């Protein structure tokens, strides 16, 4: 870049801002507002995942009516179909899917991580698509795709390090991710799109700190904790987040990727995380698992056949105001798609309400009381759901 050309990092500040409004006096939990070209996002916020440019089973208008502030879509899948060039010709992803509010796109790194057959090299990640054709996803192609999509927040292309990983593997992968980040920045040319860097380092604290230090040198609009929720378990996840979050810049959004159990969100927010996403609320909903203030229920269970109460007494979503557990169980038993629609509507509303409750508690300096009340009522269920695994 020539000396007289403004850095993209400086240009983006005209369009993307983060204001830290308050830090809870008794914890690290914080509330803020992210400003993007497509609207403001109060934090903490949970982002529903619309992998293919759609939240499964819901019309965008429903999400707007629920006042959903931001959704996440997937670079890898939209690249495969319909192709980012087509989306660009349609006016970008916002216009293509008729969603006027902010969108975050991931880089494709996690999807590469999920593939059994792949080759990670300096150029990028090479794999075969469903037709058997070789595809090279590189930092340059990832950012080009995301710029074609026109998302408000783009994620840098990285290698999502598996768990467990040796120190040598982690260090080599992390160093390559830093080189990839510089290539992402070089390709990034739209100041209306913010680029977030991703912190890797597996379970090694010194490597996590080294990664944060390297990323902060690039002066990016935001930063994310990656390489969590990859099989390490809740205890390691909390150790990684509680160590890494305080190292991240105070004046930039903090994002923890792919974490979505309600009890884990409480942990994230307590440690000062602003943003999170996961397929859990939508994927569980389609399998008949619903979240309530008292824990998860599996609506297919015979106990709900004559249960004429709403999913959650404390919820004011469309589903809970209009339908009973017995009716929703009937829909699932009858394989009626409306069951999935109503279940998804409720789960997204539950997660949104949980984040809004946390934000209110933070602003009133009572986040720890909010946490205590949550765990006093919420009964954690460690059993596995039949519908988990793979993509949303």
Omega before 82 cis (within 30°)? yes
Asked if 194 and 36 touch (Cβ cutoff 8 Å), the reply is: yes
Q: Are strands 254-256 and 222-225 parallel, antiparallel or unpaired?
A: parallel
Q: Which run of H or E residues covers position 32? A: strand 30-36
* Torsion sign across C-alpha atoms 216, 220, 222, 227: negative
Gyration radius of the chain over CA positions: 21
Residues annotated in a binding site for substrate: 106-110, 158, 200, 227
Beta partners for residue 275, in sequence order = 45, 255
Residue found by looking up tokens 């930063």 in the block = 223
| Among candidate residues 23, 47, 40, the one with its CA nearest the CA of residue 359 | 23
Q: Quick check: helix, strand or coil at residue 236?
A: helix
Of the candidates 106, 152, 274, 392, the residue annotated as catalytic is 106
Task: State yes or no: is 106 an active-site residue.
Answer: yes
DSSP state for residue 37 in the 8-state scheme: T
Catalytic residue (choose from 24, 264, 274, 277): 277
**Pick from 256, 261, 260: which is nearest to 242 by CA?**
256
Q: How far is CA 312 from the centre of its chain?
A: 25
| Closest to 138 (Cα-Cα) out of 119, 152, 115, 151 | 119
Give the residue ranges of the annotated binding site for Zn(2+).
Answer: 315, 317, 320, 346
- Could you give the residue numbers annotated as active site? 106, 277
């Amino acid at each position: 870049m020539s000396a007289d050309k403004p850095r993209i990092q400086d240009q983006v500040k005209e369009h993307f801002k983060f204001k830290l409004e308050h830090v809870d006096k008794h914890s690290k939990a914080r509330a803020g507002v992210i400003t993007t070209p497509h609207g403001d996002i109060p934090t903490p916020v949970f982002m529903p995942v619309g992998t293919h440019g759609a939240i499964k089973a819901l019309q965008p208008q429903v999400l707007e009516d629920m006042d959903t502030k931001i959704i996440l879509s997937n670079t890898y899948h939209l690249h495969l179909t319909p192709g980012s060039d087509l989306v660009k010709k349609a006016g970008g992803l916002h216009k293509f899917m008729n969603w006027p509010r902010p969108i975050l796109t991931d880089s494709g790194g996690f999807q590469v991580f999920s593939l059994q057959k792949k080759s990670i090299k300096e150029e990028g990640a090479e794999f075969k698509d469903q037709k058997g054709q070789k595809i090279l996803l590189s930092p340059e192609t990832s950012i080009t795709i995301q710029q074609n999509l026109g998302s408000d927040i783009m994620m840098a292309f990285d290698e999502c390090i598996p768990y467990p990983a040796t120190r040598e593997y982690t260090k080599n992968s992390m160093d390559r991710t830093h080189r990839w980040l510089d290539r992402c920045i070089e390709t990034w040319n739209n100041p209306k799109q913010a680029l977030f860097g991703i912190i890797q380092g597996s379970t090694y604290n010194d490597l996590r700190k080294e990664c944060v230090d390297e990323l902060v040198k690039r002066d990016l609009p935001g930063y994310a904790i990656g390489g969590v929720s990859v099989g390490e378990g809740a205890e390691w996840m909390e150790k990684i987040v509680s160590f890494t979050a305080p190292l991240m810049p105070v004046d930039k959004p903090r994002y923890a990727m792919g974490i979505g159990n309600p009890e884990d969100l409480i942990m994230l927010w307590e440690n000062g995380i602003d943003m999170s996403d996961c397929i859990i609320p939508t994927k569980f909903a389609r399998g008949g698992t619903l979240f309530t203030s008292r824990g998860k229920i599996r609506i297919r269970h015979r106990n709900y056949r004559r249960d004429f109460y709403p999913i959650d007494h404390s919820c004011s979503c469309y589903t809970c105001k209009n339908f009973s557990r017995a009716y929703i169980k009937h829909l699932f038993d009858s394989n009626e798609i409306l069951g999935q629609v109503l279940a998804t509507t409720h789960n997204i509303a539950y997660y949104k309400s949980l984040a809004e409750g946390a934000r209110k508690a933070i602003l009133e300096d009572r986040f720890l009381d909010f946490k205590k009340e949550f765990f006093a009522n919420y009964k954690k269920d460690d059993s596995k759901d039949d519908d988990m695994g793979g993509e949303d």
